[in-house]
């Protein structure tokens, strides 16, 4: 399962983008026409539920965006904060272990006060 965070809202990838064992789901979490990048809370919750659903089903999930340094890592961080109970800083540190070029963008994810102060 590939979760693509670009603005498109197609449910399944165009032909050629997905293989026989892979499905691409585009989830509109960020809207570049809405000013600075900031996740829509409702759309983010939908994305996190989708990610959890596929992980719980034993599937491998790849979250991607255009460059892989801000938006997709931020969504993975949000998932780790909400699902695993990590602090945003700890979640970013773990994501950076595998992808050092990740930029910590705490402002683009609408964390709750409790999540921010863990």
- Residue 9 sits in a domain of what CATH number? 3.90.190.10
pLDDT value of residue 41 = 87
Alpha carbon of residue 8 to chain centroid? 15
Q: Residue 65 in contact with residue 4, Cβ under 8 Å? A: yes
62 DSSP β-pair partners:
2
Number of domains comprising the chain:
1
Q: Residue 91 in contact with residue 118, Cβ under 8 Å? A: no
Q: What is the domain extent for residue 105?
A: 2-116
pLDDT in tens, 50-88: 888 888 888 778 888 777 888 888 889 999 999 999 999
Query: Residue 21 burial (CB < 10 Å; 0-12/13-18/19+)?
Result: exposed
Q: What are residue 33's phi and psi, to 5 degrees?
A: -85, -5
Q: Which two tokens stand for residue 49?
A: 């539920």
pLDDT value of residue 21 = 60
């Amino acid at each position: 399962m590939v979760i693509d965070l670009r603005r498109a809202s197609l449910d399944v990838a165009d032909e050629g983008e997905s293989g026989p064992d892979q499905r691409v789901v585009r989830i509109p979490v960020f809207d570049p026409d809405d000013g600075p990048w900031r996740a829509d809370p409702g759309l983010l919750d939908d994305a996190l539920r989708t990610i959890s659903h596929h992980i719980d089903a034993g599937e491998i999930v790849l979250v991607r965006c255009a460059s892989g340094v801000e938006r997709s890592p931020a969504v993975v961080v949000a998932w780790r904060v909400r699902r695993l109970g990590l602090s945003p800083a700890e979640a970013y540190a773990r994501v950076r272990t595998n992808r050092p070029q990740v930029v910590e963008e705490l402002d683009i994810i609408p964390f709750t006060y409790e999540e921010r102060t863990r």
